[in-house]
Chain A
Amino acid sequence: MKDLKLASNGRGRRTVVHVGDVNFGEGFCVIAGPCSVENERQTLETATAVKKAGADMLRGGAFKPRSSPYSFQGLGLEGLKILDLARKETGLPVVTEVIDPRDVSWVAEFADVLQIGTRNMQNFALLKEVGRVDTPVLLKRGMYSTLEEWLNCAEYILSEGNPNVILCERGIRTFERYTRNTLDLSAVPAMRELTHLPVVVDPTHSTGRISLVGPMSLAALTAGADGIMVEVHCRPQEALCDADQALTPEQFGQMMSKIRPLQHFLAAVPETLRPT
């Protein structure tokens, strides 16, 4: 791929993005939390539960890019404050989506990682704006974007001066209706070839099915992903969005009880025998 001066050239080293004590690019980072920040109690409860189950980072949406203008748009600044509170209470760093370039400096004030959603992957004004702050960026792949387009968007961010980009594969659109999107796991090893940036996987939004989150998370780990981002809600039936995709804290705990042992097993396997 031509002209990816910054995204491709890692000078032989893989980039490690440091977020507090969490290092994307080392080990396997688990991000978990509700789709949106609905109220203080819901967020704090879920945050505490995911921390207990071993998550490294909290996710939660304050600004929601809903397909319909009449759907819940998020709590905005109030949501950011709740995330800040959850961070203080649990010690978990926070990732949240930013939609409007005017919000970038403010979201960066309250969150540790700025998420660029799949629908905003090619929002060049937004990419430039997040490129101008130091805060790490989680760049989701566009749902109909090629790997080259995705990397060029990372290039936008890097060229503005922000080297801290984490890529996130979240499924691409295909003709299949059973799953919400089609999780393109091949993107994980492919990106390892093409770039030095860490790559994580979102098994929730890609599959859209609770039963598939576990197997795809384990697969992501084995494929060499640097982490996963999973939706967890303390009471999914009450969630304001993605109610049928979110895991309960118990389900998340069960999944983690398989992931960590697999992670340690793979780390102990001699390098020549490892899958990636």
Chain B
Amino acid sequence: MKLNEIRSKIDKVDRELLVLLHERMGLSLRTKRFKKSVADPEREAALLARGERMGLDLVEPSFTRQLLQTILTESKRLQEEDRPIVAFQGEHGAYGEVAARQLVPGGAYIPCLEFVDVFHGVEDGELDLGVVPVENSLEGAVTQVNDLLTDTQLKVTGEAKIPVRHCLLAAEVGDYRDLRQVYSHPQALAQCREFLMRHRLEPVPYYDTAGAAKMIARENPSAAGAIASALCAELYDLEIIKEGVEDGPSNTTRFLLLSREGFNGRGDKTSVVFATRHEAGRLFEVLRLFAEAGINLTRIASMPLRQDPDNYCFFLDFEGDEGDDKVASVLSQMESLTITLKRLGSYPGNGK
């Protein structure tokens, strides 16, 4: 291998080291909830001893001890910082993280495998806040999340409308001419179909957009790129070949911020989920309350009830706060018109 090649491989390893370190810091932040105090001398000693036991001849035990000690010190410092732990679904760089960063600046953003992990993590107190997508302007409602909202005890304390701006990412900027394959989630690939055709790029489906970016950065498959968010370029040290490669009008995903406690203050939007008896006019009676009170609805979606698929529950978002007189009046009237009514909470609208 020539010098350039070797250095390129070294850069790749360094990049991977930092990504792993980031992951490690995320994990250690999660331990805080389970410990009485941040420092745990027994655990630290065991951790250092284990590191030294590994017989890596180019990484001497004394160096290992030094390195792990530095990492431990930083990890403890981060835990002391007391940042809110905000969970999102996916990998680092996912649009959920973009939303989390907007909703909770200065937080610690923790990826979860599934949406249910986000909900349970916040419900159980292991995580402080959760960010989940409810609908996308092109693809429609995110069914899994809406389903989880019907059962949860969590409150909605914020929302963010994130424009989904797909970027073509590659490990090196000079690579763009040699690109042949592009990895991403099938939905993202479909949204960029014409762009890919123009440059004779082969779409390769992958489970996740950020996951594709992470894989490209780690494995550097030759002639391959990914379609993901611009945040992924930052987090995985990838080059953005072009931003905004989607074919059609940009699409937006609406995310909700979930918390164990409701929003403290007056919100300008409220979300509820309710179910009515399966009889003609029942839904109309409920909606009439809003119309007559002059309350503007911003979202209505229906979903079959899990326990009773012939019946539906309805998600309703509208302007106003639960504490407003006319809203409070409508909601209390709704109690008698519905079988179930869950108030998800009132919160500030997007961008506030």
Residues of A within 8 A of B (CB): 76-78, 100, 102-103, 105-106, 108-110
Contact = CB atoms under 8 A, between A and B. Distances in A.
Interface string B199-218: 11000000000000000000
A106 B173 CA distance: 13
Closest 8 CB pairs of A and B: A102-B177, A105-B199, A105-B198, A77-B173, A77-B176, A109-B242, A106-B176, A103-B177
Given A109-B198, A109-B242, A110-B242, 4 more contacts: A77-B176, A103-B177, A105-B198, A105-B199
Interface string B173-211: 110110000000000000000000011100000000000
A99 B202 CA distance: 25
A108 to B, nearest CB: 8
B78 interface: no
Interface residues of B, number: 9
A73 to B, nearest CB: 13
B344 to A, nearest CB: 39
Contacts, number: 19
A103 B174 CA distance: 12
6 contacts: A77-B173, A105-B198, A105-B199, A106-B176, A109-B242, A110-B242
B112 interface: no
Contacts of A110: 242
Q: Which among A78, A102, A108, A109 has the greatest number of chain B C-beta atoms within 10 A?
A: A109
Interface string B34-56: 00000000000000000000000
Interface in B153-178: 173-174, 176-177
A57 B199 CA distance: 26
B241 interface: yes
A106 B198 CA distance: 9
Interface string B234-272: 000000011000000000000000000000000000000
B235 to A, nearest CB: 20
A2 B241 CA distance: 44
Contacts of B199: 105-106, 109
